[in-house]
């Protein structure tokens, strides 16, 4: 009987501890859909202009890398990143994080000398993702 009470007590203690940990997450952490403050129409217009530059620069990354010019590809990547840093504040935190992971992956490939086919695939995937998700948020 004592074993049963001890096990029950430990189970209840574990439940109470975990419920306290989850309550500390707060409403935004629980749902995982925190939003950046709503961007004004002017901010969205500026972000759309920068977004166009991101797309153009990523195309330049692919072209330069495919032609064997890694230095030019890195320069174009830096241009894309600079423009991206102006776009991301106008987006939801979730979309901005997802795209940032793609940028991080591409940077790793460029710096490690990945095969051009791999870089092309990453850039193509980024362009597709950005065109579908990010462009929609900037409308």
Domains of the chain, first to last: 39-138 (1.20.120)
Work out the pLDDT band at 86, boundaries 50, 70, 90. Answer: very high
Inform me whether the pLDDT recorded for 90 exceeds 80. yes
Residues in Cβ contact with 98 at an 8 Å cutoff, skipping those fewer than 6 apart: 129, 133
Predicted pLDDT at 136 = 85
Of 126, 133, 139, give the one whose Cα is nearest residue 81. Answer: 126
138 pLDDT band (50/70/90 cuts)?
confident
Each residue of 32-54: pLDDT tens digit? 444 445 778 888 889 999 999 99
Average pLDDT score, the chain: 81
CA distance 124 to 100: 15
The owner of tokens 């920068």 is: 50
What is the C-alpha radius of gyration for the chain, rounded to an integer number of angstroms?
22
């Amino acid at each position: 009987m004592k074993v049963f009470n001890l096990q029950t007590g430990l189970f209840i203690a574990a439940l109470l501890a975990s419920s306290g940990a989850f309550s500390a997450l707060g409403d935004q952490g629980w749902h995982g859909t925190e939003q950046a403050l709503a961007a004004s129409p002017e901010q969205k217009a500026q972000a759309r202009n920068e977004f166009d530059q991101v797309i153009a620069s990523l195309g330049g990354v692919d072209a330069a890398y495919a032609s064997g010019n890694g230095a030019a590809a890195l320069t174009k990547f830096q241009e894309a990143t600079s423009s991206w840093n102006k776009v991301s504040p106008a987006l939801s935190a979730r979309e901005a994080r997802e795209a940032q992971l793609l940028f991080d992956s591409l940077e790793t490939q460029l710096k490690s000398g990945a095969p051009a086919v791999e870089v092309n695939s990453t850039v193509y995937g980024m362009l597709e993702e950005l065109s579908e998700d990010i462009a929609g948020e900037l409308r």
